[in-house]
Amino acid sequence: MRPASPQILSVEQAFGRQGWHCELVEGRDVLRAGFEAHHTRISLIAQAYPQLNALTIVSETPLPLGEEHLPVALELLARGNKPLTLGGFEYDIDRGFLVFRITNLFERERFDADIVTSMVHCAVAELDRMMPYAAIVANTPEDLLDDLDLVRLLQREDVIPPVPGQEEEEY
């Protein structure tokens, strides 16, 4: 059994500094963690690629879709990806999971904890932000799917959680 790389051990340390529980997958440069977000429970996988000094963070949550809903949901994710600079949404058709993936290349063997933390925050927040839109698509009756305006749906802010620190103060 090969030992864990310095890269994945630095990710594990970054998680520990944040108080996030994670488990190192034996024999692989992979950590698993779980997060309770605003809208859903999120499974998170952090995978290090030591030869590249790269880290990929994948957040995912179940989203079963029927055959009629799949094309609309895939269009929703494609439209959701357009404004993103870092990371992107995917749909795992085989498992029925909504996925967000973000990757970063690091200069050093030990990954910067602030960057790792930002990647995790991004992966959790983006998946949590997309989940209500995807749920609306998934719960729309088949005969009304053609009436969904995905551009307008993605502009709705009443279904997403407020950005931390930007909540309006009530007097």
Residue pLDDT, tens place only, 13-41: 999 999 999 999 999 999 999 999 988 89
Sheet holding 41-49, edge to edge: 23-24, 30-36, 41-49, 54-62, 97-105, 88-92
Q: Are 154 and 133 in contact (CB under 8 A)?
A: yes
In the chain, the percentage of residues whose pLDDT exceeds 90 is 84
- Work out whether strand 88-92 and strand 97-105 pair parallel, antiparallel, or are unpaired: antiparallel
> Average of pLDDT values for 118-144?
96
Q: CA 13, CA 7: separation in Å to the nearest integer?
A: 10
Q: Is residue 1 part of a domain?
A: no
> Average of pLDDT values for 108-112?
90
| CATH number of the domain within which 87 lies | 3.30.1460.70
Is residue 83 scored above 70 in pLDDT?
yes
Question: pTM for this structure?
Answer: 0.90
Q: Is residue 20 part of a domain?
A: yes
Name the residue among 77, 91, 40, 68 with its Cα closest to residue 139. Answer: 68
Q: Is residue 160 part of a domain?
A: no
Q: Is residue 107 part of a domain?
A: yes
User: Long-range contacts: 25-29, Cβ < 8 Å, 24+?
Assistant: 26/1, 27/1, 27/2, 29/4, 29/5
Poorest-confidence range of 5-9, 39-43, 158-162? Answer: 158-162
Tokens at 98, concatenated: 């909504």
Q: CA 149, CA 76: separation in Å to the nearest integer?
A: 10
DSSP string over 100-115 = EEEEEE-SSSSPPHHH
Q: Is residue 22 part of a domain?
A: yes
Residue 114 is part of which domain span? 6-155
Task: Tell me the β-bridge partners of 101.
Answer: 58, 88
Q: Is residue 164 part of a domain?
A: no
Q: Is residue 168 part of a domain?
A: no
> Average of pLDDT values for 132-142?
96
Q: Is residue 165 part of a domain?
A: no
Q: Are 111 and 11 in contact (CB under 8 A)?
A: yes
Number of domains in the chain: 1
Q: CA 140, CA 125: separation in Å to the nearest integer?
A: 24
Q: Are 140 and 49 in contact (CB under 8 A)?
A: no
Residue 117 CB contacts under 8 Å (≥ 6 apart), including other chains = 14, 17, 18
pLDDT at position 166: 58
